[in-house]
Structure 1
Amino acid sequence: MTNIAFDIGGTYIKSAIVAQDGSLSHYQKVRTPVNHSDAIVKEVKKQLEAFKYQYQLEDIRVGISTAGAVNREQCKIAYANPNILDYTGTDFAAHLSPYVEKLHVYNDVDAALLGERTVRSDDIESMFCLTLGTGIGGSYYHKAFGLMTGARHRPNQIGNLLYDPETDTNYEQRASTNGLKRQLSDNGYPYLPIPAWFEMASAGDASAQNELKQWAEEVARGIAEIQIMYDPQEIIIGGGISAQGDRLLNLIVPQVKKYLPKDYGHAEISVARLQNNAALLGAVSRL
């Protein structure tokens, strides 16, 4: 039995063979093609065929993490925004079933949450994963029923929360990593990578500290909403910015209680441990 994982994003498709101990081999990363005539699923099929014949694999099981809302039972994209051309309706089962013994397809945040579960205690009853990146994604897991599904396969769309009519923006537009970049640009700062702003803040730069605190307050507002709606045992912050670790948590966590009723309490808030590999590992975690 061989587990192969794919992580399909708007920019790259990543793939690897995943061993039983969670280690990755034969890792690849290619540009996501413009999705004319099912180009994305055809690229996955091409890579899968290459894995099979190059390494003489049998009993192949495939897990896919992908952008978009996923019908997990049918292994089909139920809905995708226009950022990926003609992706809604993409049928992975129809294209890949002849090559695999088993196939699982997950929304990318669901896959990341499943990946994080592999490195956390089985005693955790419920978890919410919040990913901060170009946009904001969410996933909720409870031991009683597993991943939340939703009637139209698109639950936890938390980026649409907290609409502000004065600025005509929602949570995602203000609290994502892109939101932070936009905030810095609007305030007249020249472009610097986000990690550089954290370095400057740690070195005592008052402007960096103030800008990051302002952005972190927006993140905290959304976390308070998650707490009230889901009451999870743990909230995990993922996305590339999670690499900032305690520097990120120290900005966000103290501000969450400002947006909760007095003495309400909240989940343990942590950063993702697997970072870039979470979705790959999560995609094959249940094969």
Structure 2
Amino acid sequence: MRMLGIDIGGSGIKGAPVDVATGAFTEDRHRIATPRPAKPDAVAKVLAEVVEHFGWDGPVGVTYPGVVIDGVTLSAANVSGDWVGLDAAALIADATGREITLLNDADAAGVAEMRLGAGRGRKGTVVVLTLGTGIGSALFTDGVLVPNTEFGHIEIRGKDAEVRASAKAREEHDLGWEHWARRLSEYMARLEVLISPSLIIVGGGVSKKADRFVPLIEGVRAPIVPARLVNNAGIVGAAMAAAAARPDGFAEPAPHEAREAGGRQREGGTAEAAR
């Protein structure tokens, strides 16, 4: 089964059709810069452009960088505050004319990593951390997702952890790998006290350079491994969530059929996609 997954990031909105059984992209990824400011209507317009780029006529999985419950976005750490309390699933469905499954971006990445990546087959408590514009988190217990954890907002030295230890913070403050690893060590040690993970998976684009900082992290008991899907995990997880919301299967319809059926699909299927 193919599904279109789109990942809303702090700097770019990226999408691709995905073979949900393997996680492979069936077409090249398409990226458009995230609008500034990242207001809902502007972002929804870009999402529609991504859908049209692929000529996609079926359901779409979309990630959002914050808390999502029943299609409503309840936080907005790295986007416009206009998202808070918004029925974003309805807005995006109206803009694209497609059924939308909307979920937290780190949850989507985590689902993909647990199904096809570094967390495959792992039991116990696993946390996936996405290091990018902020720090996203996805928590799993025996493979089942606990959604919307937002551990990037744990307070460290009077600030959100992501302000000190995200990949963006490393770049903005021109931190060397050792200095940044010390900040990550402090953050992960604090997180470990709270949830006692058996495995920490580090994702986001910077995970491609995991060999430069993961060996430098100290004071953390749990093994730390890089994500296997790197920065594509959000797209793959979004596609998986959309597929899981259609348990009867999905055959890509003709364009006129899709537009007549276009609507909104509330958040669903995420935990099932992780199994």
User: How would you bin the TM-score normalised by the shorter chain?
Assistant: 0.7 to 0.9
**Aligned 8 A contact 1:234 1:268 in 2:** yes
Give the drift of 1:177. Answer: 2.6
Give the drift of 1:91. Answer: 2.0
**Aligned 8 A contact 2:5 2:235 in 1:** yes
**Aligned 8 A contact 1:7 1:280 in 2:** yes
2:113 pairs with 107, 113, 116, which one?
116
Cα distance in 1 between the residues matched to 2:204 and 2:46: 25
State which drifts further: 154-163 or 19-28. Answer: 154-163
* TM-score, with structure 1 as normaliser: 0.71
Give the drift of 1:234. Answer: 0.9
The gaps in structure 2 that reach 5 residues or longer are 244-275
Cα–Cα, structure 1 residues 128 and 248, in superposed 2: closer, same or farther, change >3 Å? same
Question: Which residue does the alignment assign to 1:278?
Answer: 233
Cα distance in 2 between the residues matched to 1:75 and 1:127: 25
The C-alpha deviation readout for 1:103-131, integer Å capped at 9, x for no partner, is 32121111111121122432433310122
Give the drift of 1:171. Answer: 2.8
Question: Which residue does the alignment assign to 1:206?
Answer: none
Question: Which residue does the alignment assign to 1:228?
Answer: 193
**Aligned 8 A contact 1:242 1:248 in 2:** no
Question: Which residue does the alignment assign to 2:163?
Answer: 173
Cα–Cα, structure 1 residues 44 and 179, in superposed 2: closer, same or farther, change >3 Å? closer
Question: Which residue does the alignment assign to 1:29?
Answer: 31
Aligned residue runs from structure 1 range 56-205, under 5 A: 57=57, 60-71=58-69, 74-81=70-77, 83-84=79-80, 86-88=82-84, 89-93=86-90, 95-96=92-93, 99-100=97-98, 103-117=100-114, 118-119=116-117, 120-143=119-142, 146-149=144-147, 154-164=148-158, 169-184=159-174
Look up the equivalent residue of 2:228 and give its one-letter code.
R
Question: Which residue does the alignment assign to 1:197?
Answer: none
State which drifts further: 76-85 or 17-26. Answer: 76-85
1:239 is the counterpart of 2:239: no
Cα distance in 1 between the residues matched to 2:5 and 2:126: 23
Cα distance in 2 between the residues matched to 1:234 and 1:267: 5
Cα–Cα, structure 1 residues 123 and 129, in superposed 2: closer, same or farther, change >3 Å? closer
Cα distance in 2 between the residues matched to 1:50 and 1:213: 41
The gaps in structure 1 that reach 5 residues or longer are 186-210, 258-265
Give the drift of 1:276. Answer: 1.6
Identity rate, percent: 29
Cα distance in 2 between the residues matched to 1:284 and 1:232: 27
Which of 1 and 2 has greater Rg? 1
Report the 3-state secondary structure (helix = DSSP H, G, I; strand = E; otherwise coil) of the residue aligned with 1:33. coil
1:268 is the counterpart of 2:266: no
Cα distance in 2 between the residues matched to 1:182 and 1:36: 23
**Aligned 8 A contact 2:197 2:222 in 1:** yes
1:256 pairs with 208, 219, 225, which one?
219
1:40 is the counterpart of 2:43: yes
Greater relative contact order structure (CA < 8 Å, 6+ sep): 2
Report the 3-state secondary structure (helix = DSSP H, G, I; strand = E; otherwise coil) of the residue aligned with 1:122. coil
Instruction: Report the aligned-residue RMSD.
Output: 2.7
Give the drift of 1:178. Answer: 3.4
Report the 3-state secondary structure (helix = DSSP H, G, I; strand = E; otherwise coil) of the residue aligned with 2:82. coil
Look up the equivalent residue of 2:227 and give its one-letter code.
A
**Aligned 8 A contact 1:76 1:92 in 2:** yes
Cα distance in 2 between the residues matched to 1:148 and 1:5: 21
Look up the equivalent residue of 2:41 and give its one-letter code.
D
Cα distance in 1 between the residues matched to 2:91 and 2:174: 45
